[in-house]
Amino acid sequence: MKKIIFVTVLALVFYSCKKETTSEECTKPATQNNTAYVKRVVYGTTSTRQNMELYLPNNYTSSTKVVVLVHGGAWMLGPDASDTTTLFSGDLGWDLVQKLLDNGYGAAVMKYRLVCYNTNSSFYTNNPMRYMSDMIEDVDLVIQKLKTEAIDSGFSFSEFGLIGESAGAHISLMYALKNTSDPALKTVLSFYSPHSIDEQTFKNTCSSFPFNNLAANTGNGHGVERRVSSCSFSKTGTVNFFFGLKSLADYDMQVSSTTPTNIVDTLSPSFTSNIQRNLPTFILHGSVDALVPPKHADSLIQAITTKFSTTPAGLSDFSSQHKMIKYPGCNHGWGGCNKTPIMNDVIKWLGNHL
């Protein structure tokens, strides 16, 4: 089971667009049935990872809205900078990119600066924003770049959505619910995000995973930013989830003891100080998620609705401000269940809030 979960969560099996990271049109779309316009767009200058694939439906207009998609990978794993990110277009058994295109939305599938994976406690500086600030900034940079690209390409420059999965959902919530998030962002959707890196069941699960071999579990297109003397991208070697948590926190966390609250709260999207903007928010989680316990979704929706004195939307209500659904039989990565209702619910939500 552990290996299956690892593959489900982290098997971002990317194929290369075979382009340098320039704003040039890719020769091969990430979704096999899509004939839409697709373009590699660079959004930053700090790292070669700061690029995205922009997909627009063939009949797009100035009113076509783009949804930014943020991949997971325990904050430390992702595609090579020159590869196309295909997590949202089939790698996990569902094709959200195509679903968005079929319903008239564009999709911007972004890469971002990763946590530097570190197993040496002497490198920790106890700064919980050491890497999170970069990841949050990258989401904002993507939206700023899309505004410029919209003027050049002719899609909407004033309304964007944001969807993240797993660690990408955590990053998305950390950005979207702050007052500093761009006003053009109209809604955020979270797929199976953790609400606290120090929650005991989550720590137990992460620590129980073995050191998994990258090449055996994630394919040739997947790697980690690994610290030796400095950080560099590698597609070989092993990784462990709990060291991923430690690296994110920049702190020598222990399974059996509590992490200082200043570190935990800073990185928790359900911490009151991190919930500032009353943005339409849809929390989606699997009822049998074996990596991020489903109670994390309960904590998130409770924190958000308590902060803004709202009531969570009912099952058939997609127009209220805040909503949470646990999908029966779904594991992490939507494994083991029917993905069609989930994708349909995403479209229903976007239809009301974007």
DSSP 294-308: THHHHHHHHHHHHHH
pLDDT at 33 over 60: no
Domain ranges of the chain: 2-353
- The identity of residue 44, as a single letter, is G
Check: CATH 3.40.50.1820 for 2-353?
Answer: yes
Q: Could you tell me if 329 and 337 are in contact, meaning their C-beta atoms sit under 8 angstroms apart?
A: yes
Q: Could you tell me if 15 and 32 are in contact, meaning their C-beta atoms sit under 8 angstroms apart?
A: no
**Closest residue by Cα to residue 142 from 45, 40, 51:** 51
Rg of the Cα atoms in the chain: 19
CB atoms under 10 Å from CB of 306, counted, come to 12
Residue 14 pairs with which residues in a beta bridge? Answer: none
**Cβ contacts of 229 within 8 Å, gap of 6 or more:** none
Interval 145-171 mean pLDDT: 97
CB atoms under 10 Å from CB of 262, counted, come to 11
233 or 191: which leads in pLDDT: 191
Lowest mean pLDDT among 43-52, 103-112, 180-189, 232-241: 232-241
pLDDT at 271: 95
Give me the chain's average pLDDT, please.
87
Coil, strand or helix at 13: coil
| Distance of alpha carbon 40 from alpha carbon 54, whole angstroms | 6
| Distance of alpha carbon 19 from alpha carbon 21, whole angstroms | 6
Rounded to whole angstroms, what are the CA distances from 246 to 120, 239, 317? 10, 12, 38
Interval 4-26 mean pLDDT: 35
- The identity of residue 127, as a single letter, is N
Residue 236 structure tokens: 């070989």
Q: What is the CA 270 to chain-centroid distance, rounded?
A: 16
| Distance of alpha carbon 78 from alpha carbon 92, whole angstroms | 14
Lowest mean pLDDT among 62-76, 203-217, 322-336: 203-217
Q: Could you tell me if 211 and 175 are in contact, meaning their C-beta atoms sit under 8 angstroms apart?
A: no
pLDDT at 212: 60
Q: Could you tell me if 26 and 38 are in contact, meaning their C-beta atoms sit under 8 angstroms apart?
A: yes
| Distance of alpha carbon 100 from alpha carbon 104, whole angstroms | 6
| Distance of alpha carbon 346 from alpha carbon 350, whole angstroms | 6
Residue 163 pairs with which residues in a beta bridge? Answer: 69, 189
In this prediction the pTM is 0.90
Q: Phi then psi for 97, rounded to 5 degrees?
A: -60, -50
User: Which of 77-86, 215-224, 317-326 has the highest mean predicted lDDT (pLDDT)?
Assistant: 317-326
**Helices and strands in the chain: count of H runs, count of E runs:** 10, 15
CB atoms under 10 Å from CB of 157, counted, come to 18
Residue-wise over 269-281: b if at least 16 C-beta within 10 A, else e?
Answer: bbbeebbeeebbb
| 83-84 vs 212-213, strand pairing mode | unpaired
pLDDT at 331 over 60: yes
pLDDT at 246: 94
pLDDT at 60 over 70: yes
Q: What is the CA 293 to chain-centroid distance, rounded?
A: 17
